[in-house]
Amino acid sequence: MLNFLKSRLFFLLVVLVLSGYMAWEGCYRWYGPFELPLWSIGAAALLAGSCCGMQLMRRLKKQVLPTPASLWLLLLLSIVVDGSCNLYAFQTPWQLHLSVLMTMACFCLVWALLRVWSLLFWLTFLLLELIQYGAFLQYGSRINSLVVAETLEASMEEILIYLTPMNGCLLVGGILASLACCWVLYRILRKQKSPALLNAACLFGGLSLLFALLVPPNRQVQDFYWPAAEMPVLWESVSEALTINQATINQVENLPSPTEQPSEILSLKGGEGVVLIVHVGESIRADRMSINGYVRNTTPWLKEQKNLINFPVCISSACDTCQAQIAILTDGRRDIYEKNPELMPKTGSVLDLFEANGFDIYSFFGRRCAQKLKYDRVVRILTRRSVKRYNAPGSPWTSVPQMKEVLEAQEQGQNLVFFINNEGSHTPFYHYNRENPPFAPASSDFHNPAAQAKEVNNAYDSTIHYTDEFVRRVAELLKGRPFVYVYVSDHGEYLGHDGIWGRAGLGESHLSYHATDGCKVGMFVLASPEFYELHPHFDAALQQMRANSTKTVAHEHIFHTLLGLFKLKTPHYNAELDLTQPQVQPYTGSMP
């Protein structure tokens, strides 16, 4: 009897009985009779392969399966690993036994193929899963292509906001836990033969698929087969993020310049000293601006401007800065995910046209963060006609003295374009007077934002107040000159809105970006009295723009509105997307 209890047969009987009972209780009685899905063939194939392998090893008088002691220890380790690293191990009544069997199969298979080198694989995989577990509990986000893309494009400032002392301790703990699991796995499998491990991998993998047959097809999810199903998900997330990043770069690099076609500004002759400011803001939601009815006075200066033309409903093209900039500065109407040739950009940056018609272009960005993967390359192409590019060290406010420097160095009467894209309200919500925040208590601690929602939201609102002050300083700098300030934010932000924290949380939400109010972004136009008086066309165009401000607009209108505002004649112009025209068509794409 003792020999039987220590045998492989007893181990297999225990696994079969317990797994079968759990499957019956959790699936058949829970949801009713099962249907045979296609992967029944896979279960049969693995079990047949395991039987053939064991029969072959028996004839060769070799080890058929790992020793009973190693099997019990492997089962225990798999339960610990599955319960601590698999997000959905306990979410459904049948989940755990399926994924534990698959975990045992994966441990055996990878060790049989790579032996001790498999520890490097498991160390990396388990650490990523533990990081994902912590990120999901805090921010509601798993590792997906959006998270990977955001991480690849993140500046050091953005990364550090998540490296709180608590997260640092959790990271160290995750590394130590992963190392401990790998050490235990090494102790269990180091003496086991590869053929025996392959037999065990086929056996446990086949059993996992066999018991999964009890799960109704409409209840099947890939997490049943963790970690086997998780490995390609991680790979696809990285691959998709890199593919999309490269596709975005290729998209803008291959656009012909609009200056290849003849163009002419009919409203100016040159020498007027006009300043056009095109400000692509960061992460400002329309519903958090007091000019749109927000209960807090986040935009006190703008609210008092009589010449302000505000667009309360402006739809962002994408939750990605690069995609948004392409839609704003080119004739593109949607982001790359739309895959509709009619809506994709066909020509390059509108800034090229202004440079070709006598304007000097100067670009002002936030802190230099050396993002070489996508953002830096895309924005450099879109602003390639710039005379000079500036970065604002420490605070976007420092770009105001840089603008003053440009104005003082220019010959009187030179027409200028100031293109601005700085941090604004982007994570980590640092840019406001933190010694005396407009809305207190304010905090940018992202260890657990849901637990300190008030402080984080106060910080976000304070950054919008900061942007209001930034616009005021620029307007004061240009006082007495004919200028027009066109502001539009690239995308919104989620701080508990729609149950989401951070844009990467969209990957786990049932909502798409354009199904949330996060896609409604701030947009306004402000012109000086001198600009109104400079030419009758400007006054008429701005008045018509005010009449159109109640319509639903989008990024797709900016390119053509800038052309129409200056009466810049080009074959790329579309009057139906020009907000200075009475026949302009409102945005008709996806929206909440």
- Average pLDDT for consecutive 10-residue bins of the chain (592 residues)? 50 53 44 44 57 62 77 88 79 66 86 89 89 74 66 62 74 91 92 85 77 63 72 77 80 91 91 95 94 96 96 92 91 78 90 96 77 69 92 80 92 92 82 85 74 87 94 95 96 82 61 86 97 95 97 97 97 96 94 88
The angle that helices 68-85 and 95-114 make with each other, rounded to 10 degrees, is: 120
CA neighbor of 555 nearest in space, from 505, 514, 512: 514
Q: Classify residue 367 by its DSSP letter.
A: S
Q: Which residue type occupies 54?
A: M
CA neighbor of 527 nearest in space, from 485, 487, 495: 485
CA distance 332 to 341: 10
Q: What is the 3-state secondary structure (H, E, C) of 505-530?
A: HHHHCCCCHHHCHHHEECEEEEECHH
For position 258, what pLDDT does the model report? Answer: 95
**What are 269's two structure tokens?**
């002759």
The CA-to-CA distance between both ends of the chain, in Å, stands at: 68
CA 577 to chain centre: 28
CA distance 586 to 285: 20
DSSP string for residues in 532-565? HHH-HHHHHHHHHHHHTTTS-EEGGGHHHHHHHH
| Cβ neighbours of 72 (radius 10 Å) | 15
Residue owning tokens 């616009």: 471
CA distance 332 to 345: 4
- Going along 17-132, which residue ranges are E strands? none
Q: Which residue type occupies 251?
A: Q
Residue partners of 222: CB distance under 8 A and separation at least 6 = 229, 230, 233
Residues 190-203: b if buried by 16+ CB within 10 A, e if exposed: eebeebbbbbbbbb
**What are 512's two structure tokens?**
């798409």
pLDDT digits 0-9 by tens, 211-241: 766 666 556 566 667 787 778 777 777 777 7
**What are 168's two structure tokens?**
């640092």
CA distance 355 to 560: 16
For position 507, what pLDDT does the model report? Answer: 56
> What's the Cα-to-Cα distance from 570 to each of 265, 350, 353, 574, 575, rounded to whole Å?
9, 11, 9, 9, 11
CA neighbor of 464 nearest in space, from 303, 581, 316, 289: 289
Q: Kind and range of the H or E element at 159?
A: helix 156-162
For position 370, what pLDDT does the model report? Answer: 46
For position 140, what pLDDT does the model report? Answer: 62
For position 251, what pLDDT does the model report? Answer: 85
Q: Classify residue 428 by its DSSP letter.
A: T
**What are 49's two structure tokens?**
């392969």
Q: Which residue type occupies 584?
A: V
Q: Kind and range of the H or E element at 183?
A: helix 165-189
Q: Residues in the chain, how many?
A: 592
Q: Classify residue 26 by its DSSP letter.
A: I
For position 29, what pLDDT does the model report? Answer: 40
CA distance 339 to 332: 12
Residue owning tokens 């009619």: 342
Q: CATH homologous superfamily of domain 274-577?
A: Alkaline Phosphatase, subunit A (3.40.720.10)
Residues 312-350: b if buried by 16+ CB within 10 A, e if exposed: bbbbbbbbbbbbbbbbbbbbbbbbbebeeeebbbebbbb
Query: Residue 372: phi, psi to the nearest 5?
Result: -90, -10
CA pseudo-torsion sign 120, 122, 126, 128: positive
CA neighbor of 316 nearest in space, from 365, 280, 363, 278: 280
Domain ranges across the chain: 2-241, 274-577
CA distance 385 to 278: 14
pTM of the model: 0.76
pLDDT digits 0-9 by tens, 457-511: 999 999 999 999 999 999 999 999 999 999 999 999 888 877 777 765 555 556 7
Question: What is the CA angle 374-378-380, rounded to 5?
Answer: 120
